[in-house]
Homo-oligomer: A and B are copies of this chain.
Amino acid sequence: MTESLAPEAIGSIDPTEHSIIERLSTPQRTKADLRRIKCDPNYWYPVAWSRELKKGKTIGTRYAGHPIALVRPQEGSVFALEDRCAHRQVPLSKGRVEGEAVQCCYHGWAYGRSGRCIDVPYLGKGKLPNGVRTYPCREAEGLIFIFPGDPELADKTPFPKLGSVADPAYKTRRFGERVKCHYSFMHENLMDMNHQFMHSKQMGKMKPRYLGGENLPKMVEARYSFARTDGKQPWGETVVFGQRRDTSEKYAHRDVMTIRTEYPYQTLKISTDGQPPVMDLWIVYVPQDEEELTCRVFGLLSIRRPKLRGVLEAAWPLFVAFTNRIFAEDREIVELEQQAWNELGGDHNQEVFPVINMLRDLLARCGIQSPEVKS
C-alpha cells in the first residue's frame, strides 16, 4: 500500500525531529492491549461496494460480528437491516425483495425499510410481531455505508471526504479484501514507511526520511520523503508519477508522502513541489468479527491523470498488478503479526518509532476499551 517513492535518502530519525515528536506526544500512554480495543461504532463505515448489490436484491454483510442485510429495492435508496429474521433468526439476505420490503425466505415474514414486520402470511395484521433493527445507510462513490452505533448520532456525524474519487482529474482504483488481523495493524503498517524494506523486491531499495508529523486528539500525521538507493523505478510507480525517474540526486527527496489517520479512516497523499497530489488514497479497515481480529479493507486509490489522455488507461493493468503485489506483501505480514499476537496471547511489540507510538495512542484513545462494542 505504499507505491510512489523517490530517490537517494538519509534514514535514521535525527534528534531534532525526536524532540518535536516528544513534545507532541501524549503523556497518557494507554496500558490496554491495543489489539483488544474495538472500533468506535459511532462513525460511518462502508460495508459493501455498490456493484455487489443489484436492484431488487439483498446481500448479507457484517460489521464487527453484527450481520447486516443490505436491500436495494427496484425504486429508492438502499436500506440496511439486522440480518436475522425476528422469527427464527435466519438471514433476511437469503430472502426476496418485494417492493420496498424484504421477505424472509423461510416462512415469508416481511420487513420494511424501518425494520418493522409488515406481514406474516399466516397471521392477521392485528397481531404482527416485533421487527428487526435498522441501520442508518448512505451510498456514495460506489460504496454503501452504514452507521453501526447509536442511530441518534448518525446525522450529526460528519460523512467522510472520500479523497479525490469525485474529481475527474483522477482515475480511481477501488480495491479491498478481507485481512485476518486487527484493524490497528493496518494503520501501523501504512504509517510506518520504514517498512519499505519489505517491498524492496517490488520497488528496489528506497530509503525513507521522516520529515515530521502532527498529533491531534483525533488525528496523527506523518510526512516522508524518499531516495532510491538501488534498483530501477518499477513500472507501477512510473504510472503514479506519469514519468520515469532514475536514482539520480535530482529526484531524491523531491516528493512528499503524507500519511494521516483521521479516526477511523486513513489517507496517503504524494505531492511534488506543492502541486496537487499525484496519488490520493482513502482507506478504511472495517471489523468483520465480534473480536475485531479480521477486517475488510475498502480502498479508493486515485491517480492524477497525466496531460496525455489515454496513457493512464493503457498503463492501468500494469499499475493494478504492481499494487496487487504490494498489497499481498502487506497482507502477509500483518496476518503474521496477528498470528504472533494470538500465540503470545497479547501485545509484545517493542515500538521505537515515536510517530507509531502516537498512532497507537490515538487508536486506543478513540476506540472502545470495554470487552463489547455497545451498539
Q: Which residues of A contact B (CB under 8 A)?
A: 11-13, 65, 67, 84, 86-91, 94, 103, 105-108, 120-124, 127, 129-130, 192, 194-195, 197-198, 208, 210, 333, 336-337, 340-341, 343-344, 348-353
Contacts and interface: CB of A to CB of B under 8 A. Distances in A.
A208 B122 contact: yes
A304 B123 CA distance: 35
7 contacts: A11-B121, A86-B350, A88-B349, A94-B336, A105-B197, A107-B198, A129-B352
Nearest to A14: B124
Contact of A122 (B13, B341, B349): B13
Given A105-B198, A194-B107, A337-B88, A12 B124 contact: yes
Contacts of A344: 89
A17 B134 CA distance: 34
A122 to B, nearest CB: 5
A108 B340 contact: no
A198 B95 CA distance: 9
B129 A350 contact: yes
Contacts of A103: 197
Q: Tell me which of A67, A106, A108, A121 has the highest count of chain B C-beta atoms within 10 A of its own C-beta.
A: A106
Contact of A90 (B106, B127, B192, B333): B333
Q: Tell me which of A122, A340, A352, A353 has the highest count of chain B C-beta atoms within 10 A of its own C-beta.
A: A122
A234 to B, nearest CB: 18
